[in-house]
Amino acid sequence: MSKEFLPTILKQKAKEVESLELEPLQPLRETYKLYDYLKNNANNLQVIAEVKKASPSLGDINLDVDIVKQAKTYQDSGAVMISVLTDPFFFKGNIDYLRQISSQVKIPTLAKDFIIDEKQIIRSRNAGATVVLLIVAALSEARLKELYDFATGLGLEVLLETHKLAELEVAHRIGAKIIGVNNRNLVTFETDINTSLELSAHFKSDAVYISESAIFTKEDASLVAPFFNGILVGTALMKADNVAEKVKELQVDKG
């Protein structure tokens, strides 16, 4: 795969979406609101734990994982939400993984994909997601706003992902309540935790913020803890010998 990760992924995604059927809307799965939980539990850095088998930058991470067992361990260890990769092409994910996990856990689940169309949002909600990911870098501001309003209109929450100041400003203009800062550059796929630290100077008090990627240790988590409500962690948890211990290690007490 070329070094231009995002354009390559979006090209493939457009093909995928073309053949996607518009599903009839199913009831929204009941759980707590992520935003409220993060606001009300601000004394600890909360962990959004990800189920991912592979990634374009790392290749195969853990193909043999029992995804439901992994998700339940996350929940039992105090994760605030479970992120599920649904992209089949680059991350070896599947919409059925989201369906299986959502049916077996009580906490919110995030549909982690490159969402460019309303059909994907409906499909994610029908599969049990209560939160969807929208990536500022993947869409024009006008289209982003349309999809954001569409998702929230369906009762979903949106994790709006940014990775530079101009994108953070877009997120604020749209009125996003849950904003992610991805420490991974989506074009080169290189990571730098300083992305989170630099952007934190521009945060607003009414939103909650999640630091994503490049967090592997308690030290990493402690670095972002003063500025963020939560972290999204995939690789470190998928590779951990003791998953429960790893989740707990990353839940930094901010007091």
Per-domain residue ranges of the chain: 44-253
Domain 44-253 = CATH 1.20.150.20: no
Instruction: Answer for the pair 233, 250: CB distance below 8 angstroms, yes or no.
Output: yes
Question: In DSSP terms, which residues pair with 112 in a beta bridge?
Answer: 85
Instruction: Answer for the pair 128, 98: CB distance below 8 angstroms, yes or no.
Output: yes
pLDDT at position 186 is 78
Judge residue 204's burial from the number of C-beta atoms within 10 Å of its C-beta, 0-12 exposed, 13-18 middle, 19 or more buried: exposed
pLDDT at position 3 is 56
pLDDT at position 2 is 45
Is 90 exceeded by the pLDDT of residue 171?
yes
Chain mean pLDDT for the chain:
95
* Residue 53 CB contacts under 8 Å (≥ 6 apart), including other chains: 60, 61, 62, 63, 65, 85, 91, 92, 93, 238
For the residues 96-124, what does the mean pLDDT come to?
A: 98
Instruction: Answer for the pair 70, 83: CB distance below 8 angstroms, yes or no.
Output: no
For the residues 132-148, what does the mean pLDDT come to?
A: 97
For the residues 83-99, what does the mean pLDDT come to?
A: 95
What is residue 240's three-state secondary structure?
coil
Judge residue 197's burial from the number of C-beta atoms within 10 Å of its C-beta, 0-12 exposed, 13-18 middle, 19 or more buried: middle
Phi, psi torsion values for 176, nearest 5 degrees: -60, 140
pLDDT at position 102 is 98
For the residues 5-23, what does the mean pLDDT come to?
A: 94
pLDDT at position 92 is 92
Is 60 exceeded by the pLDDT of residue 211?
yes
Instruction: Answer for the pair 157, 139: CB distance below 8 angstroms, yes or no.
Output: no
Per-residue pLDDT band for 63 (boundaries 50, 70, 90) equals confident
For the residues 61-82, what does the mean pLDDT come to?
A: 94
